[in-house]
Amino acid sequence: MADEKIRFEAVSKRYGSLTVLDQLDLSIGAGEVVSIIGPSGSGKTTVLRCLMTLEPVDDGVIWIDGIPLNKELRSGALIEASPAHLRRMRTKLGMVFQNFNLFPHMTILQNCSEPPVYALGAKPTEARSRAVDLLKMVGMESKQDHYPAQLSGGQQQRAAIARTLAMQPEILVFDEPTSALDPETIGEVTEVIRALATKHSYTMLLVTHQIDFARDISDRICFFDKGRIVEQGPPDAVIDSPKETRTQQFLRKVAKAR
């Protein structure tokens, strides 16, 4: 793939005798938006956790910009990555969690401005200015002095997106970003994510249970089952005309549940 940003190469992840990812091969181009759909337990979130180095990979290599993420190249051989290498590579990645993970003792502005200071060495005044701009971008400028507990779930998630952007990642990773929200606030979060996909050049990898949202936002959809990609392609092709029986079964169940 030209301008490849992410590549999973024969990546496996096991928990005891349970194989959660089974020799996964997946390439994502720079600026591409890819959504992963599939049943519970299919390995969707594990893909993200391995990419974020929250879970170690048992086999295979994950590459970012042609550089191994979970390995280091030394004297022509791939060895286990050092903590310093992992820290460097993590700066390219930003993850938005389904449960927000905001610091409860900090205001929303502090949540967005202080991590870059401590993690990236940013100047406090510059970090604060950028945080204000990002909160404005996600429609949260009027809430910057509020604490997370004072906000709705949708507002917290928009603030969490701003905090992730404050770390200036090149790749955005979303793990079920609307699953903890009530129906009235889902739209405000999906609109922010949609704007990031259409107006900015981020490479984005999402796990979502919202099929219509995946259709609207994605360049490509991957249907996962039992730790493998069963089917992938343009959203309309996968959702409207799936070729694989397992994909068809899953989408029929989703349609009945609506």
Judge whether 46 and 11 are in contact, CB under 8 Å: no
Per-chain mean pLDDT for the chain: 93
**Residue 167 resides in a domain:** no
**Is the pLDDT assigned to residue 2 strictly greater than 60?**
no
Could you give the 3-state DSSP secondary structure of residue 24?
strand
**Is the pLDDT assigned to residue 248 strictly greater than 90?**
yes
Domain at 71, CATH number? 3.40.50.300
- Stated pTM of the model: 0.92
Query: Minimum mean pLDDT among 97-111, 128-142, 188-202, 218-232: which range?
Result: 188-202
Burial class (CB in 10 A: 0-12, 13-18, 19+), 125: exposed
Residues 17-63 pLDDT 10s: 999 999 999 999 999 999 999 999 899 999 999 999 999 999 999 99
* Domain assignment of residue 73, given as a range: 1-90+205-258
CA dist 250 and 254 (Å) reads 6
**Residue 258 resides in a domain:** yes
**Residue 212 resides in a domain:** yes
Domain count, the chain: 1
- Mean pLDDT, rounded, for 110-133: 95
b/e burial code for range 201-232 (CB count within 10 A of at least 16 → b): ebbbbbbbbbbebbbebbebbbbbbebbbbbb
**Residue 38 resides in a domain:** yes
**Residue 115 resides in a domain:** no
**Is the pLDDT assigned to residue 258 strictly greater than 90?**
no
**Residue 57 resides in a domain:** yes
Residues 148-197 pLDDT 10s: 999 999 999 999 999 999 999 999 999 998 888 888 888 889 999 988 88
What one-letter code names the amino acid at 181? L
The pLDDT of residue 147: 97
CA dist 131 and 40 (Å) reads 35
**Residue 81 resides in a domain:** yes
- Mean pLDDT, rounded, for 126-145: 96
Residue 57: CB partners within 8 Å, gap ≥ 6?
11, 12, 13, 50, 70
The pLDDT of residue 174: 95
Residue 77 vs residues 82, 98, 250: alpha-carbon distances, Å: 14, 37, 42
The pLDDT of residue 237: 96
| Phi, psi dihedral angles at 125 (to 5 degrees) | -65, -40
Of 241, 235, 229, 199, the C-alpha closest to 21 is: 229
**Residue 70 resides in a domain:** yes
**Is the pLDDT assigned to residue 12 strictly greater than 90?**
yes
Pairing of strands 18-29, 4-15: antiparallel
Could you give the 3-state DSSP secondary structure of residue 18?
strand
Residues 209-241 pLDDT 10s: 999 999 999 999 999 999 999 999 999 999 999
